[in-house]
Chain A
Amino acid sequence: MSEQPVALVTGAATGIGAACARQLCAEGFRVGVHYRSSAEKAKKLLAELPGAFGIQADLTVSEEVDGLMGRLKEEAGTVDVLVNNAGYNINAPMLAMKLEQYDAVAAMARGTWYLSKGVLRRFMLRKNRGRIINISSVVGHTGNPGQVPYTMVKAGLDAFTKSLAQELAGREILVNSVAPGFIDTEMTEELPDEVKAAILARIPQGRMGRAEEVADAVAFLATRGHYVNGSVLHVNGGMYGG
Chain B
Amino acid sequence: MEQSAVMEGVVKILTPWVKNDEALKGVSMETNILDDLKVNSARLVDVVIAFEDEFDIEIDDEDVDTVNTVGDAVQLISSKLG
- Note all chain B residues with C-beta closer than 8 A to A121: 45, 49, 61
A125 to B47 CA separation, bound complex (whole angstroms): 11
Q: Are A125 and B45 in contact (CB under 8 A)?
A: yes
B62 within 8 A of A: no
Determine the chain A residues whose CB is within 8 A of the CB of B53 once the complex forms.
126
Number of residues of chain B lying within 8 A (CB) of chain A = 5
* Assembled-state Cα–Cα distance A125/B46 (Å): 7
Report the Cα distance A184→B46, complex, angstroms. 43
Binary flags per residue of B40-80, CB closer than 8 Å to A gives 1, else 0: 00000110010001000000010000000000000000000
A125 CA / B61 CA spacing, docked (Å): 14
Cα distance A121–B61 in the bound complex, in angstroms: 10
Give min CB distance, A138 to chain B, whole Å: 33
B-side contacts of A125, CB under 8 Å: 45-46, 49
Q: Which residues of A contact B61 (CB under 8 A)?
A: 121
Chain A's nearest CB lies how many Å from the CB of B15? Answer: 18
- Smallest CB-CB separation from A171: which chain B residue? B46
User: Which residues does chain A contribute within 8 Å of B46, judged by CB atoms?
Assistant: 125
Tell me the A101-146 residues at the B interface (CB within 8 Å). 121, 125-126
* Complex: A80 Cα to B38 Cα, angstroms: 31
Closest Cβ neighbor of B43 among chain A residues:
A170
Q: B52: shortest Cβ distance to chain A, in Å?
A: 8
- Across the interface, name the chain B residue whose C-beta is closest to A73: B58
What's the nearest-Cβ distance from chain B to residue A69, in Å? 11
Residues of B within 8 A of A126 (CB): 49, 53
Please give, as numbers and ranges, the residues of chain A lying within 8 Å of B49 by CB-CB distance.
Answer: 121, 125-126
Identity of the chain A residue whose Cβ is nearest the Cβ of B49 in the assembled complex: A126
A127 to chain B, nearest CB (A): 10
Cα-based distance from A237 to B30 in the complex (angstroms): 61
Q: What is the bound-complex CA distance between A121 and B64, given in angstroms?
A: 12
Output the least CB separation between B48 and chain A (Å): 9
Binary contact readout B15-55 vs A (1 if CB under 8 angstroms, 0 otherwise): 00000000000000000000000000000011001000100
CB-based nearest B residue for A126: B49
Would you give the shortest CB distance from A64 to chain B, in whole angstroms?
A: 17
C-alpha spacing A121/B49, complex, angstroms: 8
Rounded to whole angstroms, the CA-CA distance of A121 and B52 in the bound complex is: 12
A128's nearest neighbour on chain B, judged by CB, is B46
Residue-by-residue, is A173-198 near B (CB-CB < 8 Å gives 1, otherwise 0)?
00000000000000000000000000
The smallest C-beta distance from B63 to any residue of chain A, in angstroms, reads 13
CA distance A99 to B30 in the complex (A): 50
A binding-site residues for B, Cβ under 8 Å = 121, 125-126
Sample 8 A-B pairs with CB under 8 A, ordered by A number: A121-B45, A121-B49, A121-B61, A125-B45, A125-B46, A125-B49, A126-B49, A126-B53
Give me 5 other A-B pairs in contact (C-beta within 8 A), A121-B45, A125-B45, A125-B46 excluded: A121-B49, A121-B61, A125-B49, A126-B49, A126-B53
Residue ranges of B at the interface with A (Cβ–Cβ < 8 Å):
45-46, 49, 53, 61
The 8 A-B pairs of least Cβ separation, nearest first, read A126-B49, A125-B49, A125-B45, A125-B46, A121-B45, A126-B53, A121-B61, A121-B49
